[in-house]
Structure 1
Amino acid sequence: MSLVLLLRRRGRLTAPALARELEVSTRTVLRDIEALSAAGVPVYAERGRHGGFALLPGFQTELTGLNHDEVLALLVAGSRRGARAFGLGPSLASALRKVVDALPESQRDTAAAAAERLLIDPAIDLLSRRLIAEEVPDGTMAEIRRAVFAGHRLRIRYAAVGATPRWRTVDPIGLVTVREQGYLLATRDGADRTYRLSRILAAHQLAEPARRPERVDLDRTWQQRSTRFRTGGDPVGVLVRVTEARREELVDTALTVRSAEPDGDGRLRMAVTFQDRRHAEWALWQLGTDAEALEPQWLRSALHERAAAIAARYRDGTG
């Protein structure tokens, strides 16, 4: 199927080119070409300098029965997390059932047996820590998706951190998912805005066209907003001593890592940057005794006070 789709999309291709695209050997490509021909798929070969394999003009092969959301779910199926974050989990499951049903019986049985040997994104990790995916009501997520794709303005009721939820009208640009968290990229009154999907309590698509560019490079847009976020506020530099085992957790939490070098006893001395004081204190507290903030002094004092308060709470062993 991948070979047929490649020929439909790209036209004539040589066996080596097909092998590179499909990441298989040239011998495998030739064998599959023969199998397609035997199955009645009109693949033909052209000799010469500009030769290769092609499909007869007008040949079509379609997978029928997929609705819009199912097709969309397949397009983001490279990440099940993406499908979940955008409210397309049920559509992805439905689309995959239809794909499997369209397979020849022999391939269907083989695929089902192979799928039993694969587990992707389980709900918990090896330490039984549950991976919490943010949930957005299906109706709200569907309304957001419709506005994004139709290019219409969107009215959302948003609960910002520490603020009373309120309505606002935005011009949606696109949707992004990062580590189980979904975001709506938009503009409001011409200014860039990024909204956490889980904090959108309600959404209504408006008839008015969105004020946005016709085309967008979403990856570049996200990179630009991410850079502005990291450099905004009042960044805090911290010198920390951390175990090798918890290094990745620290790196994932910090905005930037300025330096890292061995410090003995299986630990690293790292200079990192956090968004602000609250972020720094929270991040170091999560690492417990596997990390020690060496500088600045106010952070050491804050962590000491927090630890002392916890110790005092449990000192006498009574509730």
Structure 2
Amino acid sequence: MRASRLVTLLLLLQNRGRMTARQLADELEVSVRTVYRDVEALSGAGIPLYGDAGHAGGYRLVDGYRTRLTGLTADEAQAAFLAALPGTAAELGLGEALATAQLKLRAALPAELREHAGRIQERFLLDAPGWYGDADRTPHLSEVAAAVWEQRAVVLRYRRWRAPEEIERRVEPYGLVLKAGRWYLVAGGPSGIRTYRVDQIIELQRLEEQFVIPDGFGLAAYWDGCLADFRARLHTGEALVRLTPEGCRRLGVTAAGDGWTQARVPIESIDHAHGEFLRLGSDVEVMAPAELRDRITETVRTLAALYQG
């Protein structure tokens, strides 16, 4: 633990120049006395740092003492800092590790690249979850991540939408995927490789037994296959509709003119299309299928009676 703190102290001085003992103590979350001891240890190890007394004093490294990371372009340095996701790393229990890694990278960069990297962090922010919902609560995420990393089997109690609503299953966690602010576990089990929402894990027990990921399995390729299958099942039917120019614009249909445009549009299901077309109000008339037209007609009658009453 102390060795890690000494490295962090050194990197702070490389990044920021002169810092007081109090500033270092605040950054490292230790006492000023501990900072004094750490500075002594670094000096004893031959690190060329010295302290200035007085109000404007502090510790700093001898000019020119810096490790340079060669071969890194400005674009590459910017990409490295843009790719870092502090919120995601914290959820996985790696927040401190990410902060230290960024500190090390910044310390190793030449001055001009450090400026570019700093600008990236100041001006770009990734906020993955959508607007209309808080991020999922995933209390077991760090345990799942540890099992993935260590290739240890787990027994999980899981909540699902169909009966039985709660199941217990031994699985072998192959990888984690973050999609639109939601975490998914890809794992092998008695029924083959399956995908589980991490926020639906009720209880998890890590086992001592380790497993081997099957030859030929690739997390990215598996996930691409899942997405392709999802898209193939997403729109399994179609509806015949008439649209106003505004309705065409909202549905992304090319308008035939200033009047009504007839078009066939893909639908996921009757239930889903019912809600989506109601959002368009009087800018759409559903012609077919008859079941969808009847559902919307009944909803409109119910609304009319409600508001007329």
Is the structural similarity TM-score above 0.5?
A: yes
Could you say which residue in structure 1 is the equivalent of 2:141?
A: 141
Letter in 2 for 1:147: A
CA offset at residue 141 of structure 1?
0.7
Instruction: Kindly report which structure 2 residues correspond to 1:1-319, keeping only aligned pairs within 5 A, or say none.
Output: 41=68, 78=83, 80=85, 83=88, 87-88=91-92, 91-92=94-95, 95-96=98-99, 99=102, 102-103=106-107, 115-121=121-127, 130-138=131-139, 140-163=140-163, 164-210=165-211, 212-214=213-215, 216-231=217-232, 235-240=236-241, 241=243, 243=247, 245-247=249-251, 261-265=254-258, 269-274=263-268, 276-289=269-282, 291-316=284-309
SS at match of 2:305: helix
**Would you say the 8 A contact 1:77–1:92 is kept in 2?**
no
Superposed CA deviations along residues 169-215 of structure 1, whole A, max 9, x for unmatched, are: 22322222322233222233143322222222222222233464155
Confirm or deny: 8 A CA contact 1:157 1:167 kept in the other structure. yes
1:89-143 per-position Cα deviation (integer Å, ceiling 9, x unaligned):
x74587347635854897778866665544543878xxxxx342441333x1112
Structure 1 distance, partners of 2:99, 2:262, is 45
Distance (Å, rounded) in 1 between the aligned partners of 2:227 and 2:219? 12
Secondary structure of 1:144's counterpart equals helix
User: Does structure 1 retain, via aligned residues, the 8 Å contact 2:274–2:296?
Assistant: yes
Q: Which amino acid aligns with 2:127?
A: D
2:82–2:121 contact (8 Å) kept in structure 1: no
Aligned partners of 1:133 and 1:180 also within 8 Å: no
Distance in 1 between residues matched to 2:132 and 2:84, nearest whole Å: 15
- Equivalent residue of 2:148, what SS? helix
Distance 1:82 1:175, change over 3 A: farther
Residue of structure 1 in register with 2:17 after alignment: none
Structure 2 counterpart SS, 1:246: helix
**Structure 2, unpaired ranges of 5+:** 1-63, 73-78
Paired residues of 2:81 and 2:121 also in contact (CA < 8 A): no
Structure 1 CA distance, aligned partners of 2:211 and 2:279?
42
Q: Bigger CA drift: 103-112 or 237-246?
A: 103-112
Taking the aligned partners of 2:149 and 2:141, their CA distance within structure 1 comes to 12
- CA–CA distance in 2 between the matches of 1:286 and 1:302? 14
Match of 2:6 in 1: none
Percent identity over the alignment is 23
SS in 2 for 1:264: coil
1:155–1:170 Cα contact (<8 Å) kept = yes
Instruction: Write the letter of the residue equivalent to 1:121.
Output: D
What residue identity is the alignment partner of 1:306? T
Q: Relative to 1, partners in 2 of residues 1:307 and 1:198: Cα closer, same or farther, differing over 3 Å?
A: farther
Work out the CA distance in 2 between the residues paired with 1:167 and 1:76.
40
Maintained 8 Å contact 1:172/1:185: yes
**Whole-angstrom CA distance in 2 between matches of 1:39 and 1:79:** 23
How far apart, in 1, do the equivalents of 2:234 and 2:124 lie? 43
Q: Which runs of 5+ in 1 are unaligned?
A: 1-36, 44-52, 55-73, 125-129, 249-259
Distance 1:191 1:112, change over 3 A: closer
> TM-score normalized by structure 2?
0.56
Q: When the two structures are superposed, what TM-score results if normalisation uses the length of structure 1? A: 0.54
